[in-house]
Amino acid sequence: MRFKAACVQFDVKKEELEKNLAFVISSLQKLSKEKVKLVVLPELWAAKFDKEKSEKLWDFSQAALNEVAPLSKKYEMVIVGSLIEKEGNNYFNTAYVTDASGNVIARYRKVHLFSMAGEDTYFKSGREKVVVGTEVGKLGVIICYDLRFPELARELALDGAEILAVPAQWPKARVKHWRTLALARAIENQFFVVACNRTGWDKEEEYPGHSLLIDPWGEALAEGGEDDGFIIAEIDLERIKIVRHSMKCFEDRTPHVY
């Protein structure tokens, strides 16, 4: 199966929520003209979390999801991006997957919360991994800091994931880690990685963009710069079989030793 995939990277405005949504909607429209079938958005693309405005931000995040989900159907796209989710008194950093039916077909709650930035003080950690069948193949989903934990990505590969979607807000200070880890996850699991990172500034932190579409051999098919916009590359799922046949890492695994 061959299709086009894209990452939409932009400066997620903390105080200008409507601008965030408008940028995504505009980008999806442009990508539909390019016949893109898989789109990954940044982490918390509609609104970043703020304890004092938590209810308002959650409401806006869900309203944004309700506007974007029908576009999955209109443009026949699979769309992945993380948003604030609330259940009971708990908030989660949740990646939603919508498909060409316009429905949410999967939710992944971020498992590894970034304690250095206090993320674990306002979000509750997820407890389940997610691999979901879509029109573009089997998607595994992780979020930002999860990229540093190879165990999770490997479990998704063993569960049949062909593409790893990674919404992120990864800072410029560690952009070398971002690129290295994304490439590593693709190489070691021999699947595609579609990793979307935000741009811009938030308080004292700068975000570099540099979204990536990587093939199972670790080749960067497309890489963004530091500006708002999107990157596109063709994904050929047959490439997974070719790479795994030429380098038989999965056949040579010895799980009883691990």
pLDDT of residue 51: 84
Per-residue burial over 50-75, b = 16 or more CB atoms within 10 Å of its CB, e = otherwise: eeeeeeebbebbbebbeebbebbeeb
pLDDT of residue 124: 97
* DSSP conformation letters of 89-118: TEEEEEEEEE-TTSSEEEEEE-SS--GGGT
Enter the CATH code of domain 2-246.
3.60.110.10
**Residue 33, pLDDT above cutoff 90:** yes
**Residue 138, pLDDT above cutoff 90:** yes
Tell me the angle at which helices 17-33 and 54-75 cross, rounded to the nearest 10 degrees: 10
Task: Write out pLDDT tens, residues 180-217.
Answer: 999 999 999 999 999 999 999 988 899 999 999 999 99
- What does the domain layout of the chain look like in residue ranges? 2-246
pLDDT of residue 203: 81
Task: Write out pLDDT tens, residues 84-123.
Answer: 999 999 999 999 999 999 999 999 999 999 999 999 999 9
What is the number of other CB atoms lying within 10 angstroms of the CB of residue 33?
8
List the catalytic residue out of 7, 43, 48, 196.
Answer: 43
Look up 124 and say whether it is catalytic.
Answer: no
DSSP 8-state assignment for residue 45: -
> In sequence order, what are the residues at sequence separation of 6 or more whose Cβ sits closer than 8 angstroms to the Cβ of residue 244?
190, 216, 250
Predicted TM-score (pTM) above 0.95: yes
Bridge partner residues of 87 (DSSP):
90
List the catalytic residue out of 14, 37, 48, 110.
Answer: 110
Look up 196 and say whether it is catalytic.
Answer: no
Token code pair at residue 140: 């595994």
HSE, CB side, 13 Å, CA atoms: give it for residue 116. 2
Look up 223 and say whether it is catalytic.
Answer: no
Mean pLDDT for the stretch of residues 38-66: 95
**Residue 60, pLDDT above cutoff 90:** yes
Are 38 and 235 a contacting pair, CB within 8 Å? Answer: yes
